[in-house]
Structure 1
């Protein structure tokens, strides 16, 4: 359940309360002006029948006020658009994360930061699956999507050593070029192996987006594959990267409800910064996707409104 337009509901609630207070104040002023002097009123008030009548009136007014409050809350809830999320969207809390790393020479420090981030997060994972792909001129699978976290840790540690040692075997393709980001991203997106499952899909793409060579996929075409797969792409780029390259990457990742984070490669704080940024963006992407799979739930608000109005009408008649 979620409130899509909570601010509208809050506005209705505040307006209703303002109208109610104004009506109460006006009624109070009006009663002051209509007062009539009556002799022997204390004796009348002491009569059991009068006391019973007063108690009945007080109960009726209290019930009326509570009923109107219930009706107002129902109207506010309807205005705020309470939506239900289908079971398929609820399952999107489980994630498939593909670490997609441009391992050209200039990217090595950033790649190790991202690897360190997920090495530190593995202990906190439960239902997530992680995959790892490295690319330069060619894409090489470090390991497929898996929830075997011991295997993930070994794979990430081995990858970290390989990246720091120099060119990763199998990723170089001198005839094609280097940093073929479109091809790399397309390969990473194709690693999501359960298209029928409604899982949250995230690609953490570490690249400077400085393409040198002839790629099969442009960045835009690869991003379209991510859109079709309902995968959020989150870019991690080096600080002081070329502005136009970062801007292009950001415009494409936003098509997937993602974004780009620039990091000072090698900074000790990057592990926390990257983890928080990716998690924050994943939540936004999941919410956006959930809206596409959601449906309005007017029943709770409508029921509260009807019951409240009926209660107010009944108490008014009895009073």
Structure 2
């Protein structure tokens, strides 16, 4: 679109040049075709200082209009060719990937809205890392894949939070999470989140923020300890958030102990959801892993540079119009 506008401007400039030149030449032709008046001894007139000065001024103005018209044409040609500058930049990137792994089984629904708020807090603290969100129950689905577009990630988390707190929600966010023998397959859910990491051959920091009460109600393909070993084999660190780890729920102690043992076995830490130190501690530990940044692939940046030919064209056009007006006098 920009190139087309420049072409239109170039044609307009050339048209103006043609009009001005035609006007000047036509005026000169009319003067030559006017009624001739024979003057004796006219050679004496041409030797007068005033006549000589006027002739020099006319020649200077004529040369000026030709130069200005040439400059205007050159500016139009440059604009039509689209002047650009090429630079190569290498963006700085973080070599950390974080998958937010959320249990959306029935025992977790009352806590999930709060956990999603916690996830939103995490995204506000990260800078340059890639994050993704996986929801699981009997099976796992990717809510959004690993991305460094935090605006998009927060938009998805806000939408999920709105669905969770809406009393008339249609539970569409849970579509695809019930394809299994039972519900709340904790081990399968963690293993699925480990499998969401890409580029496993590259050296990157990979972490999972794993939110579940670890209350299994079905037949799992992989137990939680087995899923923890799978995470260790892929060099994935798991940080656990357990909303069920509260003093009033004594029955949850066994599940909490198993979850704590698994996540700590991967090099991560275990937190009760209500612990105010959970979010800042997780962020600090994630950012402490391979904290150095690396340079991304070179990107060629093309920048339009029309300023000089545009200014030169306007100056030349103004000069053509002014000198043309002076030639009429």
Partners of 2:93 and 2:223 in 1: CA distance: 28
Which of the residues 255, 263, 274 maps onto 2:273? 263
8 A contact 1:93–1:200 mirrored in 2: no
8 A contact 1:203–1:231 mirrored in 2: yes
> Is 1:254 the equivalent of 2:255?
no
User: 1:78-93, aligned counterparts within 5 Å?
Assistant: none
Partners of 2:287 and 2:127 in 1: CA distance: 17
> If each structure's helix is expressed as a fraction of its own residues, which one has the higher value?
1
> Is 1:186 the equivalent of 2:196?
no
User: 1:69-218, aligned counterparts within 5 Å?
Assistant: 94-164=95-165, 165=169, 167=171, 168-173=174-179, 176-218=181-223
- Say if 1:257 and 1:207 are closer, same or farther in 2 by CA, change over 3 A: same
Report what 1:233 is aligned to.
Answer: 238
8 A contact 1:110–1:206 mirrored in 2: no
Partners of 2:286 and 2:126 in 1: CA distance: 15
Instruction: Number of aligned residue pairs: give it.
Output: 191
**Structure 1, gaps ≥5 residues long:** 1-90, 265-269, 291-319
- Structure 1 stretches of 4+ moved >6 Å: none
Question: Residue by residue, what CA displacement relative to the aligned partner does 1:119-159 show, whole Å, maximum 9, x if unpaired?
Answer: 23434432101100001111111011011122111211122
8 A contact 2:125–2:283 mirrored in 1: no
**Structure 2, gaps ≥5 residues long:** 1-91, 293-329
Return the offset for 1:226: 0.8
- For the residue of structure 2 that corresponds to 1:232, the secondary structure is strand
| TM-score w.r.t. length of structure 2 | 0.53
Question: Residue by residue, what CA displacement relative to the aligned partner does 1:202-253 show, whole Å, maximum 9, x if unpaired?
Answer: 1111101111111111111211121111111011112325111000011111
Question: Residue by residue, what CA displacement relative to the aligned partner does 1:44-76 show, whole Å, maximum 9, x if unpaired?
Answer: xxxxxxxxxxxxxxxxxxxxxxxxxxxxxxxxx
Return the offset for 1:117: 2.5
